[in-house]
Amino acid sequence: MTKIKQLEYWDLFCKEEKSFSDGYFYSLFMEITFNDLYYIYKHFPNSDKLILKTKKYLIYQDLKFEKKITPALLEVLIKLDFEEKKTLFQAHNEFDYLLKKWTFIYEKDFVKVAEMIEDDELSQEFFNYKISDKEAMYALDDALYGLTNDFDYRLYLFEPLTKLNYSGEYMFQFKSFGGIYAISDNIVYYSYK
């Protein structure tokens, strides 16, 4: 299917004039131009902010950073992100783990931390927090995951559609520097490549 046809179907879907199976728009963001972003987001509130965040994400994927990335810098970014999430979810008991005192351990072995993410149920609970019951929102959320293959980036890009006071900027920087982390007990293991 051509990208133009897929955008036409997306438009019909968002207008609720045509239905599609779950996962149909998973590849919506594949091979898009910046101009396509308008057509993807035009049916959603805060479309300008959605477009800006997506452009920023796409640009950062191609950048090589001159800044010296250190474990200390990455730790600061994780802590700032946790602080932002903490205020966001203090009222939700399922996220009380964010209120704990954390130990941060830098792990040189990137693959080891990447494997730990599979068992990191606490982070998965946060990422799966339901935002809306609208079909187009779920399809967009799925398409954003198709674009990023990353829960944190997906949440960052989806943020303008939430009523949550969470920008995701610290985690965006952390991930853009190649950082990953996994939570085990009260320990946050992190690495980067």
Domain-embedded: residue 79: yes
Strands of the 179-184 sheet, one edge to the other: 103-106, 187-192, 179-184
Domain termination site, one of 41, 62, 83: 62
- What is the model's pLDDT at position 13? 96
Q: Structural domain of residue 49, as residue ranges?
A: 3-62
Does any domain span residue 144?
Answer: no
pLDDT along the chain (193 residues), means of 10: 89 94 94 94 94 94 75 94 75 60 92 82 53 79 92 88 84 92 87 91
Does residue 158 lie within any of the structural domains?
no
Do 99 and 47 share a domain, yes or no? no
pTM of the model: 0.83
Q: Is residue 147 part of a domain?
A: no
Q: Are residues 53 and 92 located together in one domain of the fold?
A: no
Phi-psi region of 65 (alpha: psi -120 to 50; beta: other; left: phi over 0): beta
- The count of structural domains within the chain is 2
Last residue of a domain, one of 30, 62, 94: 62
Longest dimension (CA), the chain: 51
Instruction: Examine the domain organization and report whether 181 and 97 are in the same domain.
Output: yes
